[in-house]
Amino acid sequence: MVNIGTPVESPNAIGLRRSFRKSGAPVDGTSGTLVGVAEPGDILIDYTNTKLYVNANTKASPTWSQILTGGVAFAEDLDFSGAYTEDVIDFSGVTINSTGSNGPGLIRAGTYATPIANADEDQSGFMRLYGETSANGSSYDRGIFVCLKTTGLKGIFPIAGLAEVLAQSGAGPSKAQAAQFITMLQEATSKLATLGGDATAGMYAAWLKVGSVSGAVASAGSRVAAVWLDNQMNGTVSGEEYAAFITCGGSKVDAVFGFETTSSGWTSLFYFDETAYDQDPVVSGDATGGNKDYHLRVNLNGTMYGIQLYAL
């Protein structure tokens, strides 16, 4: 039943805001809930399902838009122009009017100049998502999926992270990582199935791929790579520094790098261009005066070979 005899009225800066109570979800339209009663902006509470609605249309034809679920505190100055259906927030009809990196976007927390501060010793972060699936089949679940398209000249980065260490009065943090991806067989009875002929199957912390369809063109002078590793430590590095740091533990790994191709392979194992071919670690001349102390093992399709190493 709708309580329309004595609506709750709260004074604000521009007049009165009224709220109504009803058991069950309201009905929209000219024959809907509170027709001729609820003004635009009036609020209706479904006390049975603890959901909150606002009349987003007219008094003659109310449209009840759900704005919050039960148990969620109302945020001051909340402005949401998308759709909220059950447990899904839908921004599909929203147009972004961005004003740079500090622009509104769809969801923003803080700005670069005034970030959200956290002084607690915890792992709270901004967002935590936990999910679990028990489904069978050959498909897969995505925790977070981002698809960003372009028809113009502007570059696109579907996901970007920036980890900055600011001025320190002490030794500073021991960890500064822009991204962390970990895949685990987490329990003693966890299992990983065989590849079964699926080239995309396997257990990886990350799958990085570049590709194109027939007819697409990567112009002369462009560059394509699945991974770009870039060091630019202009300050003092008293410790170790690598372009790639590789560790292992547990079982003995078959190889540092594994190669497999469905095309014609690779032209070279390494390529040093005009900026690098005469720089360390490339040294001109023969390795003379040394002893052939070690070799690096290379497995070519089951046969082990050695690359000779000289002590210089």
Instruction: Give the model confidence (pLDDT) of 192-243 as tens digits.
Output: 999 998 888 999 999 999 999 999 999 999 999 999 999 999 999 999 999 9
On whether residue 210 sits in a domain, the answer given is: no
User: What letter represents residue 235's amino acid?
Assistant: G
Is residue 61 assigned to a domain?
yes
Q: What is the pLDDT of residue 180?
A: 93
Domain interval for residue 28: 1-96
Tens digits of residue pLDDT in 48-91 = 988 888 999 999 999 998 875 444 444 444 555 566 666 677 77
Predicted confidence (pLDDT) per residue in 303-312, tens digit:
999 988 887 7
Token pair of 127, please?
């967002």
Q: Which residues make Cβ contacts (< 8 Å) with residue 269, sequence separation at least 6?
A: none
> Cα dihedral angle (48, 52, 54, 60), rounded to 10 degrees?
0
pLDDT band for position 170 (50/70/90)? Answer: very high
Q: Would 294 be classed as within a structural domain?
A: no
pLDDT above 50 for 161:
yes
What is d(CA 260, CA 246) in angstroms, rounded to the nearest whole number? Answer: 20
What pTM was estimated for this model as a whole? 0.69
**pLDDT for 281-292, tens place per residue?**
888 877 766 677
How far apart, in Å, are the Cα atoms of 77 and each of 30, 63, 74, 96, 249? 30, 21, 9, 19, 52
Residue 71 falls inside a structural domain: yes
Q: Is residue 306 part of a domain?
A: no
Q: Is residue 56 part of a domain?
A: yes
For all residues of the chain together, what is the average pLDDT?
Answer: 84
Residue 42 domain-assigned (yes or no): yes
Token pair listed for 92: 């599909």
CA separation, residue 151 to residues 92, 96, 156 (Å): 19, 16, 11
Report the number of distinct structural domains present in the chain. 1
Answer whether residue 35 is part of any domain: yes
